[in-house]
């Protein structure tokens, strides 16, 4: 699979400076002919707790699950889990995976009609069963869809314990339907399992959401791509973050690879492009000193697909050292935007209107300056934006729960910067 890795940075540092920043754009053209380089397994997890009876959610969930099943390519392994107080495999027989064909998809669709809403919510148990099923197919492109409508009912800390034990085993996209679920719970799942989280406020939107997720999953052609960062002696990685298409901090997911290198998981890939912010701490140099601060490689197992170099050059010329790289500045702003929105939501929930107004004002300013129109529109459902350029906003007295949750879940979505300096 052809990959490229391109570094965008200002390599010139002022004397005494020790921090090197670079945006690495990784692009893949996908496997030749769109063929997967390994097998694939899909698991659909549908909340079937008692609360799903409300507002026609269980009927919409059945239709969404059927739509997703119809999108599964021939030859892909799959299963369906009904999520209640325990995890119950709905299709195929417990402990097994089905191989997708016209016949097995039809059988699965018939089994979905048996999905009834009763019982509680136990996301840890649901994900644990999914992990056990995925374990039958090591090396596959492993992807799950999880749908819920409520709070997790398991004992405190159990979901986190499960996530720690299954991290890296599969990716999982989570969706919450309605407004009675916790964004923080689904975000934990998304962060641990390199997936996404979003709200489907109206059950009528579930089928389209499931179709989009499954279609995207079917486009993945490589299972386990990683960013390998090598640093020389006296240099260390401060952080590695995905910054586009959304913000995700990968720093804590590092796995050491020899004394000077570490690998950061990027999940499964198809034909796509993503941006990463790599920050390196180095020893300061003298004027004219030049060093390789990091070597960043896109790897899959022992195969190196692409490589990019991060450099540092110390200079007394302030015109060079103070020039801000557009990509680095843009994505630093996008990361601040996500953090500021989440801080604003927390402040508003705790009744601290002054802090909420300041945070949302700064967020409106950042969204406007970076051209992130989608986030600016979401902010406008929670505050009245009087002047986005100066960050002047007023809190709305009445805010729909679904609007606030949409702003929260989508706060990490970023826009790409233009490539001209």
Q: State pLDDT tens for residues 344-361.
A: 999 999 999 999 999 999
Mean pLDDT value across the chain: 96
For the residues 400-405, what does the mean pLDDT come to?
98
Distance (Å, whole) CA 20 – CA 281: 6
- Percentage of the chain beyond pLDDT 70 is 99
Same domain, 227 and 332: no
**Is residue 27 domain-resident?**
yes
The pTM assigned to this predicted structure is 0.95
**Is residue 397 domain-resident?**
yes
Sequence-distant (6+) residues with CB within 8 A of 87 are 45, 81, 122, 125, 126, 128, 129, 130
- The domain of 248 spans 3-31+223-322
Same domain, 55 and 98: yes
**Is residue 138 domain-resident?**
yes
Which CATH number goes with the domain that contains 208?
A: 3.40.50.410
Which CATH number goes with the domain that contains 272?
A: 2.60.40.3670
Same domain, 135 and 48: yes
In this predicted structure, the answer to whether residue 421 has a pLDDT above a threshold of 70 is no
**pLDDT confidence band for 417 (50 / 70 / 90):** confident
For the residues 391-413, what does the mean pLDDT come to?
97
Same domain, 133 and 68: yes
**Chain segment 39-61, per-residue pLDDT in tens:** 999 999 999 999 999 999 999 99
Single out the residue in 322, 339, 370 at which a domain terminates. 322
**Is residue 394 domain-resident?**
yes
Same domain, 195 and 252: no
**pLDDT confidence band for 38 (50 / 70 / 90):** confident
**Chain segment 174-199, per-residue pLDDT in tens:** 999 999 999 999 999 999 999 999 99
Does the N-terminal peptide bond of residue 92 adopt cis geometry, omega within 30 degrees of 0? yes
In this predicted structure, the answer to whether residue 264 has a pLDDT above a threshold of 80 is yes
DSSP symbol at 125: H
Number of separate domains in the chain: 3
* Predicted pLDDT at 31: 74
H or E, element range at 228: strand 222-230
* Predicted pLDDT at 30: 84
Single out the residue in 322, 344, 363 at which a domain terminates. 322
**Is residue 137 domain-resident?**
yes
Which CATH number goes with the domain that contains 338?
A: 1.20.120.1690
* Predicted pLDDT at 36: 85
* Predicted pLDDT at 420: 34
**Chain segment 290-304, per-residue pLDDT in tens:** 999 999 999 999 999
Same domain, 212 and 263: no
Same domain, 58 and 199: yes
From 237, 261, 230, 236, select the one nearest 251 (Cα to Cα): 237
Same domain, 186 and 262: no
**Is residue 149 domain-resident?**
yes
**Chain segment 137-182, per-residue pLDDT in tens:** 999 999 999 999 999 999 999 999 999 999 999 999 999 999 999 9
**pLDDT confidence band for 1 (50 / 70 / 90):** low
CB–CB of 229/253 below 8 Å?
Answer: no
The crossing angle, in degrees rounded to 10, of helices 158-166 and 123-134 is 20
**Chain segment 99-130, per-residue pLDDT in tens:** 999 999 999 999 999 999 999 999 999 999 99
Same domain, 286 and 311: yes
Distance (Å, whole) CA 409 – CA 421: 31
Same domain, 74 and 160: yes
**pLDDT confidence band for 419 (50 / 70 / 90):** very low
Single out the residue in 322, 354, 381 at which a domain terminates. 322
Distance (Å, whole) CA 184 – CA 168: 20
**Is residue 415 domain-resident?**
no
* Predicted pLDDT at 94: 97
Same domain, 16 and 57: no
Burial class for 354, CB neighbours closer than 10 Å (0-12, 13-18, 19+): exposed
**Is residue 356 domain-resident?**
yes
Same domain, 178 and 87: yes
Distance (Å, whole) CA 130 – CA 142: 10
């Amino acid at each position: 699979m052809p990959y490229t890795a391109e570094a965008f940075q200002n390599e010139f540092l002022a004397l005494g400076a020790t921090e090197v920043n670079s945006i690495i754009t990784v692009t893949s053209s996908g496997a030749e002919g769109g063929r997967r380089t390994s097998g694939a397994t899909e698991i659909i997890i549908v909340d079937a707790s008692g609360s799903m009876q409300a507002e026609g959610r269980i009927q919409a969930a059945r239709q969404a699950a059927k739509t997703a099943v119809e999108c599964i390519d021939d030859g892909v392994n799959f299963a369906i889990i009904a999520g209640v107080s325990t995890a119950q495999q709905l299709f195929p027989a417990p402990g097994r995976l089905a191989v997708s064909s016209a016949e097995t998809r039809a059988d699965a669709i018939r089994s979905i009609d048996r999905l009834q809403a009763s019982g509680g919510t136990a996301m840890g148990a649901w994900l644990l069963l999914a992990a056990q099923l995925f374990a039958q197919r090591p090396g596959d492109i492993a992807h799950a869809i999880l749908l819920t409508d409520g709070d997790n009912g398991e004992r405190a800390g159990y979901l986190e314990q499960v996530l720690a034990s299954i991290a890296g085993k599969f990716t999982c996209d989570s969706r919450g339907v309605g407004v009675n679920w916790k964004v923080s719970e689904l975000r934990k799942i998304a962060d641990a399992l390199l997936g996404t989280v979003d709200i489907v406020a109206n059950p009528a939107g579930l089928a389209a959401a499931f179709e989009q997720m499954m279609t995207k999953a079917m486009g993945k052609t490589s299972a386990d791509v990683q960013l390998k960062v090598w640093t020389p002696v006296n240099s260390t990685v401060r952080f590695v973050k995905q910054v586009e298409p959304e913000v995700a901090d990968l720093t804590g997911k590092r796995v050491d690879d020899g004394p000077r290198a570490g690998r950061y998981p990027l999940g499964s890939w198809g034909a796509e492009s993503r941006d990463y912010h790599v920050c390196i701490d180095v020893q300061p140099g003298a004027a004219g000193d030049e060093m390789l601060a990091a070597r960043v490689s896109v790897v899959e197992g022992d195969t190196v697909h692409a490589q990019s170099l991060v450099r540092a050059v110390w200079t007394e010329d302030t015109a060079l050292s103070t020039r801000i790289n557009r990509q680095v500045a843009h994505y630093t702003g996008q990361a601040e935007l996500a953090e500021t929105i989440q801080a604003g939501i927390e402040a508003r929930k705790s009744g601290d209107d002054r802090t909420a107004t300041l945070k949302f004002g700064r967020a409106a300013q950042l969204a406007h300056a970076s051209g992130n129109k989608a986030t600016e529109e979401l902010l406008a459902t929670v505050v009245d934006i009087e002047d986005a350029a100066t960050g002047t906003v007023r809190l709305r007295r009445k805010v729909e729960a679904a609007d606030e949750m949409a702003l929260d879940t989508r706060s990490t979505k970023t826009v790409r910067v233009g490539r001209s300096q």
